[in-house]
Amino acid sequence: VATSAQTDLNPNAKLACQRESPLVCPNQELVERIDIIRRARELDMNWQSALSYARAIASIKAYPKKIKSAKEAGKLWYIGNKAEHKIGEYLKYGQIIETKTLLEDEKYKVLREFTSIYGIGPMTAQTLYAYGCRTLEDAKKFYDNPENTAQQSSDDEDENKRLPERWIEVSLALKDDLGIKIPRKEVEQIAGTVMKELEAIQPGCSHTIAGGYRRGKPESNDIDIVVTHPKADRKRIQELCQELTDVLSKKGLVTHLMTLTGQNTPKSLHADVIAKALTVFSLPGSNRSCRLDLVFAVPEVYWTAVVGWTGSTMFQRDLRLHAKSKGLKFDSSGITRRNNQSVIVAHSEKDVFEILGLPYIHPTMRNA
**Which residues in the 244-303 window bind ligand DGT by CB under 6 A?**
none
**Which residues in the 16-75 window bind ligand DGT by CB under 6 A?**
none
Q: How many residues bind ligand DGT (CB under 6 A)?
A: 16
Measured from the CB of residue 250, what is the shortest distance to ligand DGT in angstroms?
25
Measured from the CB of residue 162, what is the shortest distance to ligand DGT in angstroms?
9
161 binds, among Mg ion, ligand DGT, none (CB under 5 to 8 A by kind): ligand DGT
x-or-dash pattern for ligand DGT, window 210-229, by CB under 6 A?
-xx----x--xxx-x-----
Residue closer to ligand DGT (CB basis): 90 or 118: 118
- Burial of residue 124 (CB within 10 Å: 0-12, 13-18, 19+) is buried
Task: Tell me how far apart the 2 most distant CA atoms of the chain are, in Å.
Answer: 61
| N-term to C-term CA, the chain | 15
**279: nearest Cα among 297, 304, 260:** 260
Q: Secondary structure of 248-278 in the HEC alphabet? A: HHHCCCEEEEEEECHHHCCCCCCHHHEEEEE
Measured from the CB of residue 278, what is the shortest distance to ligand DGT in angstroms?
8
Q: Are 240 and 297 in contact (CB under 8 A)?
A: no
Residue closer to ligand DGT (CB basis): 220 or 238: 220
Question: Alpha-carbon distance 148 to 127, whole Å?
Answer: 11
Measured from the CB of residue 366, what is the shortest distance to ligand DGT in angstroms?
9
Measured from the CB of residue 221, what is the shortest distance to Mg ion in angstroms?
6
**308: nearest Cα among 300, 320, 326, 323:** 320
Q: Secondary structure of 65-117 in the HEC alphabet? A: CCCCCHHHHHCCCCCCHHHHHHHHHHHHHCCCHHHHHHHHCHHHHHHHHHHCC
Q: Are 335 and 304 in contact (CB under 8 A)?
A: yes
Residue closer to ligand DGT (CB basis): 83 or 312: 312
Q: Are 368 and 318 in contact (CB under 8 A)?
A: yes
CB-CB neighbours of 342 under 10 Å:
9
Residue closer to Mg ion (CB basis): 55 or 217: 217
Q: Which of 42, 84, 186, 224 binds Mg ion (CB under 5 A)?
A: 224
Measured from the CB of residue 209, what is the shortest distance to Mg ion in angstroms?
9
Q: Secondary structure of 3-66 in the HEC alphabet? A: CCCCCCCCCCCCCHHHCCECCCCCCHHHHHHHHHHHHHHHHCCCHHHHHHHHHHHHHHHHCCCC
Q: Identify the H or E element spanning 168.
A: helix 165-173
**Which residues in the 299-338 window bind ligand DGT by CB under 6 A?**
308-309, 311-313, 316, 332
Residue closer to Mg ion (CB basis): 145 or 313: 313
49 binds, among ligand DGT, Mg ion, none (CB under 5 to 8 A by kind): none
CB-CB neighbours of 272 under 10 Å:
16
x-or-dash pattern for Mg ion, window 187-216, by CB under 5 A?
------------------------xx----
Site membership for Mg ion, residue 222 (CB under 5 A):
yes
Strand-by-strand arrangement of the 334-337 sheet:
328-331, 334-337, 343-344
Residue closer to ligand DGT (CB basis): 289 or 316: 316
x-or-dash pattern for ligand DGT, window 133-172, by CB under 6 A?
---------------------------xx-----------
Q: How many residues bind Mg ion (CB under 5 A)?
A: 4
309 binds, among Mg ion, ligand DGT, none (CB under 5 to 8 A by kind): ligand DGT
Which positions lie near Mg ion, rule CB under 5 A? 211-212, 222, 224
Which positions lie near ligand DGT, rule CB under 6 A? 160-161, 211-212, 217, 220-222, 224, 308-309, 311-313, 316, 332
